[in-house]
Structure 1
């Protein structure tokens, strides 16, 4: 989880998703990030269970990917840092 939040762009993604669920293309526009780069950051956040992506079908049958922030509570202390480094 520390690695996921230890990047400025991923913190921006979290802050934007705190405003509510959003389609990935809209999120890319808001953050001024390319979709491939955004998907990389979202993948890391999703692996840490900080965000969740969900596919939906539009009325015309097009797959739409939406992301939302998952509830989390991060406590940072010496033990958490030592444990994160041991996992790395």
Structure 2
């Protein structure tokens, strides 16, 4: 499954992406990353949430292909995990939803 352009996602991919975007916290995280890459501790401070809660949201966004992560070493040898928004585009119409719905797997999601 290709991440990136989402103009014609299959049904399961569309559900995954929309579920990832269906949280105010995750929307704020993605909005903060639209300005460029940020390391986790700074992002948590900027958003006023705990690193643990932020990690939960970042994992969901990463799984959906909406953000990417990179580990880097600082000058003092500390490992810093940076996140950035992945390039994507999502344009939904009733027709595109109908096409995606026809490809949904039979597994029920909760």
Verify same fold: TM over 0.5.
yes
2:86 maps to 70
Q: Following TM superposition, by how much is the alpha carbon of 1:74 offset from its aligned partner in structure 2, in angstroms?
A: 1.4
The answer to whether the aligner puts 1:38 opposite 2:54 as a matched pair is: yes
RMSD: 2.1
Residue by residue over 1:11-43, the C-alpha shift from the partner in whole angstroms, topping out at 9 and shown as x without a partner, is 000110011111111100110010000000000
In structure 1, C-alpha distance between the alignment counterparts of 2:92 and 2:23, rounded to whole Å: 15
Runs (5+) with no aligned partner, structure 2: 1-16
Work out which of the two has the higher radius of gyration on C-alpha atoms and give 1 or 2. Answer: 2
Higher relative CO (Cα under 8 Å, sequence separation at least 6) belongs to: 2
Q: Following TM superposition, by how much is the alpha carbon of 1:60 offset from its aligned partner in structure 2, in angstroms?
A: 1.7
In structure 2, C-alpha distance between the alignment counterparts of 1:74 and 1:10, rounded to whole Å: 16
Q: Following TM superposition, by how much is the alpha carbon of 1:58 offset from its aligned partner in structure 2, in angstroms?
A: 1.0
Residue-pair matches, total: 88
Aligned with 1:37: secondary structure?
helix
1:27 maps to 43
The answer to whether the aligner puts 1:58 opposite 2:93 as a matched pair is: no
Structure with the bigger percentage of helix: 1
Residue by residue over 1:34-72, the C-alpha shift from the partner in whole angstroms, topping out at 9 and shown as x without a partner, is 000000000000000100011001112111000000001
